Amino acid sequence: MRLTVKCGVVRLTKRKRAILEAEYDNLQRFLNGERGVRLYSANRQQAVRYYKRPKPSKEYPLSLRHDLIDLHKAKTFWFLRVRVHGVRGGIRIPIIPHREFPKDAELGESKLFRRHGNFYVNLVFKFDAPPLCRGNSVLGVDLGERVIAATVLLQNSWIKRPRFLGREVRGIRRHHAWLRRRLQERGLKRVVKRISDREKRRVDAVLHRVSKEIVEMADRTTSWIAIGDLTGIRRKTKTKGKRLRRIVGNMPFHRLTGMIIYKAMMRGVPVVLVNEAYTSITCHVCGRRGFRPSQARFRCPECGEFNADLNGAINIARKVERHLGYMPLCGVACEPALDYASA
Ligand SMILES: [Zn+2]
């Protein structure tokens, strides 16, 4: 498995900043075709290796070869040694990582880049995933538009701990859509771009928190995670209104699913992607087909009304619970594997 730890480069002395800037700028010039610039040999090799057809308008990160990455901790900071042209042994730069470095991990090819005048390092660690833990209950996750994830725990067919996570995503998206419209009317394109970056960061922060909460809950209760496979969602919403299609088509379901799978693998929690056909319009009590009078509600002709998101989450969890005894234990399974297992 690979884990990227983002680090900010901090407290650069004037001298070190000048040296780093020179190396970085020379890399850009080298990629723009100036073959004679002063660049550390390994940095040059990495550039040739990774950037086959560089675009002149883009800035490219400095690729750090894994065997040249030298990382050590001093009193308060971590220090990274960066090899540069003209300074024997390179320069030591202080960095602050956004999370702890994983233990027993090897370093892979990493990147140093500049944004808005500041330097950052993305360090890539490689390590073995922990063994999978066979759970005896299922945490069903229904990804939706109103709340980004509704979850429910099925333990011996008992429905427990309904949760609604990430409600704020919709608000963030609406607010930014409104802002963007207003800025576009005034022709402020650069501001629009900055606003979009900020929106993505804010949404991502929520997604990270939601995925962490889901995986921790599954880990604590030794559960499998069952999650609706949304690869068909765009097709499915074709028949519905334009507005809804825009919202659903842009929702960050794929990013959230990816984060859940990744975090689950880090902890040895197995994940099953469930074909979510009919899970939103089937009654979790009697199995009859019902309908949704609104986004929020599900109505069964016999049993009455339920919360639509929870009804979906229960159906998704049930699809996996039925097969628990037969399930092949693998990191991420899909439903065809389930059908095969039960046949
Ligand atoms: Zn029913």
Residues bordering ligand 1, an ion, CB closer than 5 Å = 283, 285-286, 288, 300, 302-303
Q: Give yes or no for a contact between 285 and 305, defined as CB atoms under 8 angstroms apart.
A: no
Q: Kindly give the distance from the C-alpha atom of residue 299 to the centroid of ligand 1, in angstroms, as a whole number.
A: 8
Q: What is the pLDDT of residue 95?
A: 92
Q: Kindly give the distance from the C-alpha atom of residue 22 to the centroid of ligand 1, in angstroms, as a whole number.
A: 69
Residue with tokens 């639509």: 308
pLDDT digits (tens, 9 = 90+) for 21-76: 999 999 999 988 888 889 898 888 888 888 888 888 888 999 988 888 888 888 88
Q: By CB neighbour count within 10 A (0-12 exposed, 13-18 middle, 19+ buried), where does 336 fall?
A: exposed
Report helix, strand or coil for 27.
helix
Q: Kindly give the distance from the C-alpha atom of residue 150 to the centroid of ligand 1, in angstroms, as a whole number.
A: 20
> Which pair of structure tokens corresponds to residue 59?
């800035």
Q: Kindly give the distance from the C-alpha atom of residue 287 to the centroid of ligand 1, in angstroms, as a whole number.
A: 6
Q: What is the pLDDT of residue 333?
A: 67
Residues in the chain: 343
Q: Kindly give the distance from the C-alpha atom of residue 291 to the centroid of ligand 1, in angstroms, as a whole number.
A: 11
pLDDT digits (tens, 9 = 90+) for 102-148: 877 889 899 999 988 899 999 998 888 777 777 789 999 998 877 88
Q: Is the pLDDT of residue 231 over 70?
A: no
Q: What is the pLDDT of residue 250?
A: 58
Q: Kindly give the distance from the C-alpha atom of residue 303 to the centroid of ligand 1, in angstroms, as a whole number.
A: 4
> Which pair of structure tokens corresponds to residue 305?
């009304």
Q: Give yes or no for a contact between 183 and 120, defined as CB atoms under 8 angstroms apart.
A: no
Q: What is the pLDDT of residue 25?
A: 92
Q: Kindly give the distance from the C-alpha atom of residue 289 to the centroid of ligand 1, in angstroms, as a whole number.
A: 8
DSSP state of 101: P
Q: What is the pLDDT of residue 228?
A: 84
Report helix, strand or coil for 180.
helix
* Angstrom distance (rounded) from CA 79 to CA 136: 45
Q: Of 334, 343, 337, which Cα lies nearest the Cα of 226?
A: 334
N-to-C CA span, the chain: 32
Q: Is the pLDDT of residue 152 over 90?
A: yes
Q: Kindly give the distance from the C-alpha atom of residue 282 to the centroid of ligand 1, in angstroms, as a whole number.
A: 8
Q: Is the pLDDT of residue 204 over 80?
A: yes
* 7-34 average pLDDT score: 91
Q: Is the pLDDT of residue 339 over 70?
A: no
CATH number of 137-167+200-342: 3.30.420.140
Q: What residue spans define the domains of the chain?
A: 2-126, 137-167+200-342
Q: Is the pLDDT of residue 343 over 80?
A: no
